[in-house]
Amino acid sequence: MSFSKSHTFDELNDSTTYWTIWVRAQSIWKGVTMKTNKFRGYNIIFFDDTNSRIHAFIEPQICPKFEEELQEGCIYIIRNFSVKYYNRDETNRAIRNEKHIYFNQDITLKKDSEKVIRIEPQSFDLFLLSNVDKLKGDNRFLSDVVGLLEDSPTKIAYRKEKVEKHNVKFTLTDGRYYWTITIHLL
């Protein structure tokens, strides 16, 4: 496969459906109504090689076309989809992005088996605990605290192949387990 133009999430808008993106599926879940438990479609969180995230939605009528292909952690090439903007009143959004992808009949979704583009295996946000209280008051977005920093992050400089590089190390805990995290800065 030859590499063709890939669009960034910032470039996406509702003016056309001729978009191409390379993304990793971070989370996939079924949407159901709370009162009737009726299936409403699939929700997906995608992120790209810049660590930008976007929410995608698949209507129940076209879900069977994608059910076997979609897997969390896989990288996909997605073409020909709709982009919609959230209105100000929509609540419980999973991503702090003003737009989302809407799967339509013309969309193509293909696993990137040739590994044309490198996308990190995970994407997450770190917030100051003092900012979490502010987030709780904004019901437009969902938030979840999965851990707390145990110690202050430390920026470490090192040399690799005569080039100075940096990483940040810290410990994250959920109260039961502790993880040492290293983030390599570009």
Contacts of residue 29, defined as CB under 8 A and 6 or more positions apart, other chains included, come to 42, 43
pLDDT digits (tens, 9 = 90+) for 151-161: 778 889 988 88
**Which of 30, 140, 21 lies closest to 82, judged by CA?**
21
pLDDT at 172: 85
| 29 pLDDT higher than 60 | yes
DSSP state of 58: E
pLDDT at 3: 53
| Out of 25-39, 56-70, 152-166, least confident range | 152-166
The CA-atom distances, in angstroms, between 60 and each of 42, 68, 103, 110, 157 are 7, 14, 10, 20, 50
Are the C-beta atoms of 80 and 59 separated by less than 8 Å?
no
Question: What is the Cα–Cα distance from 39 to 33, expressed in whole angstroms?
Answer: 7
| 1 pLDDT higher than 60 | no
Q: Which residue has the higher pLDDT, 7 or 123?
A: 7
156: its two tokens: 């470490």
Residue ranges of domains in the chain, CATH in brackets: 20-111 (2.40.50.140), 129-185 (no CATH)
Q: Which residue has the higher pLDDT, 37 or 125?
A: 37
20: its two tokens: 């191409």
- In this prediction, residue 66 has a pLDDT band, given cuts at 50, 70 and 90, of very high
Mean pLDDT of the chain: 87
